[in-house]
Structure 1
Amino acid sequence: MKEIKLQQGGTGECMEEATELAKLHNIALSKALQKLEIKLKGLKFSISNFQFLLSLRKEWTSLQNMEGKKACCGWDPYRGLLSCGGKRTIKEYELCSNVSKYVFFDSAHSTDKANQQMAELMWKGTGNVTGPYNLEALFGHNQE
């Protein structure tokens, strides 16, 4: 979303309208799945709160010394313009020297380290991260 905002002359911050639409979608999806769970006996599902996971980037930034405001690769002050490799309309790009220090590789993709941390939270996380089941419970790996 940062790329779109910058191209429209914005500051590079996330687009509020798109973020709100994503939140509304998640609420509607959760309600629809809960209704379906009543109709289809035995249905189990897991929904991960991606907005919450992304909000953890502030925590990762401070606890693990990871950069959470700008991407590893791209162009502009946040490296939010998707131009890595110079094969798009915008040829200029900057590339960080250590991708493991970043939450985002480019404006659209989290780094492997950030993805690993999010996957671990989805696997064992509690209700603020994933629910009504985390993935470990959904797939029955926590049973004796």
Structure 2
Amino acid sequence: MEPTTRTFLSKALFSLTIGSNDVLNYFQPSIPFFEENKVSPTVFQDFMISNLTVQLKRLHGLGARKFVVVGVGPLGCIPFVRALRLVASGKCSVEVNTLIQGYNRKLSALLQHLNQELGPEAMFVYANSYDVVTGIIQNYRHYGFDNGEDPCCGGYFPPYVCFKGSNANMSSTLCDNRSKYVFWDAYHPTEAANIIISEKLLNGDQRFCSPLNIHKLYSYNLPSWPME
């Protein structure tokens, strides 16, 4: 590898946000509907961690040195899952969030292990999106939102479809002011919520990013690689 390429890669930030779709697919109804053909939550978590470990080490082998790995957020609280699991207003799916919390603990432990194994010439940061988003949902009025559980796009009732059809006169139901909603659609936060999330991950303390926040990771000086 050319020295200039090596230097560029060592200073670049590699951000990985992965796992949410895997969790959503795990909790989707089986086909046929009543068939119990899923692995246990523990096996599922371990499978996700195993696959991610392989890919992180592969990126490291290709020259990546600064990693931000984002944990899975509280999907048990998003409109889609609440509708799918028939969760009451103001509540979240305990089953879904319990699996996610278990996975996130294993992810955090994995990144700590990689910092010990591959450090000090590499740094793996765990971004705790679960607690950040949970805090926003639970204290949404504190952050200036009026609605912490319904989607802006798609209306107030399942299936919260958010799209614009081929007919120009057909479009989804939109809220009056998306900046007052935590959720944009059945799955994703609004821009206003994402700004808050980004700020906490960029500049927050170790409750939100560990062992250091993204801003500090950007400025972090890794040991120089020896010239070949």
- Fold shared per TM-score above 0.5: yes
The one-letter code matched in structure 2 to 1:46 is V
The one-letter code matched in structure 2 to 1:96 is C
Matched, 1:61 2:138: no
Question: What does residue range 30-109 of structure 1 map to in structure 2 within 5 Å?
Answer: 30-42=108-120, 43-57=122-136, 58-77=138-157, 81-85=159-163, 94-109=173-188
Give the count of matched residue pairs. Answer: 136
Q: Secondary structure at the match of 2:126?
A: strand
Residue 5 of structure 1 and its aligned partner are, at CA, apart by 4.2
Residue 46 of structure 1 and its aligned partner are, at CA, apart by 1.5
- TM-score where L is the length of structure 1: 0.79
- Alignment match, 2:193: 114
Residue 59 of structure 1 and its aligned partner are, at CA, apart by 2.7
Matched residues, percent identical? 26
Name the structure where strand makes up a greater proportion of residues. Answer: 2
Residue 65 of structure 1 and its aligned partner are, at CA, apart by 3.8
Structure 2 unaligned regions, length at least 5: 1-75, 221-228
Task: Return the index of the structure with the highest Cα Rg.
Answer: 2
Output the CA distance in 2 between the equivalents of 1:61 and 1:18. 25
The one-letter code matched in structure 2 to 1:62 is H
- Alignment match, 2:15: none
Output the CA distance in 2 between the equivalents of 1:5 and 1:102. 16
Q: Conserved in 1, the CA contact under 8 Å of 2:145 and 2:179?
A: no
Matched, 1:135 2:227: no
